[in-house]
Structure formats: structure tokens, C-alpha cells
Amino acid sequence: MASAATAHSHDHEHHDESSLRVFGFWIFLITDLILFAVLFATYVVLQGRYNGGPTEAELFSVPIFVTSTFILLTSSFTSGLAILQLQKGKVKSTVVWLLITVLLGIAFVGLEIEEFMTMVHEGATISTSAFLSAFFVLVGTHGLHVSVGIIWMTSAAIQLARHGINDVTTRKVNIVGIYWHFLDVVWIFIFTVVYLMGVM
Amino acid sequence: MKEQNSTHHLSAKPYIIGFIYSLILTIIPLVLVFNEMLDKVALIVSILLIACVQFLVQIYYFMHLKENENRFYIILTLAFGIVVVVTVVGGSAWVMNF
């Protein structure tokens, strides 16, 4: 009886701690959100300061940014499916969905690198105008976050494949899942404020 | 007890619904922008509102807030974050009008 009670309270402590760590991660996400807020504010202020350089309408390719957006939305969905498989206790399909998400992330970053390269070849570099400085820093910071997410999610998938589902791997996969949805949320605003407002 | 807790969210349905909503909420602003049906201010306001709805969809369907025991504190932190974002971005945009 006594041992059962201790086991239960021990279990409960584990659960509490895991929940607390997820909360800690949310606090990090909010500070990251504030970082993006500052970059958005800079962009909004400097937008339209072309210094004789190219404008948004001349630079942005509609098919490319629309494709990027759908790729990232789909990856947000597949990372959600990975969490679902994790909750069902299926290691293999969790790893598969995580890797599909990673591949979509790589496609997204690849498109972004190509977009940046094309711009630079056309003479639109980070030092061309205030608008382009703000653009490259804002969109580049997001791309960097996705790149970090790719490495992070791959590591979480490897760890899950090696150690199976336990408290630690469950928590790690859950947290990287939340991070991935956060990247999608930030992109939605880049899509709206930078790209859609740029081409309208 | 553990199984009782975890059975209600083991369906792919909320994820599929969330995904469909997020696709619709991406297509609507594209249609609005490229069909030029609205004047500029109305267009900016509507695509920003749609982005906010999209944000709520991601939080509600994908980010597992309901399952966390600290959800109240998470929502409180999130609310604080949104206040900062709106103040910093909105304030910067507004002050440039003068």
C-alpha cells in the first residue's frame, strides 16, 4: 500500500517536471517571438526605403513564396502527425513522420537559399538599401531558425530510434514539435507582412 | 488512469481539420491580394486578421495546450508576448505616419 502510494507520487513528480520543462520552453518561445517582433518592427519602418534599388514587386517571385508557404504548412501538419504517432506509442512511424517533416524543412530552406542567391545575382544585396537590409535580416533569421530546427528534429528522431519511447525522448520530441509549429506561425506573418503586402 | 488521459487525443482528426483550415486561410489572402477586390487599407486589415486566425488555428489544433497542466501560465505568458509584439510592431508602424 505504502509502496504503491510512493510509486504513484513518484510518477506524478515525473509528469509535473516534464510539464514544467514544456512550460519553460514556452517561455523561451515568447522571448524568441519578441526577437521577431523587433525584426518585424525594423522591417515595417524601413520598408519603402529603396535607395534607388529594386522594390518588392520587382524582387519577389509569387510561385516561389507561395510554394514555400505550402511546404511549411504541410511540414507543420506532418510534425503534428509525428506527435500523434508518439502518443500512440509507435516508434517507427513517429521517426518516419519526423523525417518527412525534416525533408520538407530542407526543401523550404533550399528554396529560400535559391531565392536569396537569385536576388544577390540581380544586384539586390543586404547593403543595397535599408529595405533589403531589413528584409534579409528578418527572413534570414527565420531561415536560420528552420535550419536549427532541421538539425534538432533529426537529432530527436535519431535519439528516439535508438532509445525508444521513454520520458526523456517523449519530452524532447514534443518540444521540437512545438518549436516547429512556432516556426510556421512566424512564417505566416512573414508571408502576410513581407510577401503579400510587398506584391500588392 | 494514464490510458484514460491519452485516449481522447489519439485521433488524426484534429490535425486534419487544422491542416484544412490552415490551407483555406492561406488561399483566401492569396485570392484577395491577386483579385484586387478591396481597396488597400481594407485589404491590409483583412489579410492581417486572417493571419491572426491562422495563428490561433496553429495554437489550437497543433500545439497541445490542452494537454499541459501549466496551460494557464502558458496562455498568460503568450498573452504577455502578444502585448509586446503588438506594442513594438504596431507602435513602430504607427509612429512612421508622422
Question: In which band, very low, low, confident or very high, does the pLDDT at A17 lie, cut at 50, 70 and 90?
Answer: confident
Determine the pLDDT at residue B11.
Answer: 87
Determine the pLDDT at residue B63.
Answer: 83
The model's pTM = 0.90
Please give the grid coordinates belonging to residue B39: 481597396
Question: Which is nearest to B1 in space by CA: A165, A183, A7, A22?
Answer: A7
Give A143's Cβ-side CA count (13 Å radius). 18
Higher-pLDDT residue of B62, A71: A71
Question: In which band, very low, low, confident or very high, does the pLDDT at A14 lie, cut at 50, 70 and 90?
Answer: low
Residues in chain A closer than 8 A to B29 (CB atoms) = 192, 196
Q: What does the pLDDT look like over A29-39, one tens digit per residue? A: 999 999 999 99
Mean pLDDT, consecutive 10-residue stretches, chain B (98 aa), reads 50 92 96 89 94 93 82 93 96 92
Determine the pLDDT at residue B64.
Answer: 76
Q: How close does chain A come to B94, measured CA to CA in Å?
A: 9
Residues in chain A closer than 8 A to B44 (CB atoms) = 197
**Closest-CA residue of chain B to A67:** B26
Determine the pLDDT at residue A6.
Answer: 47
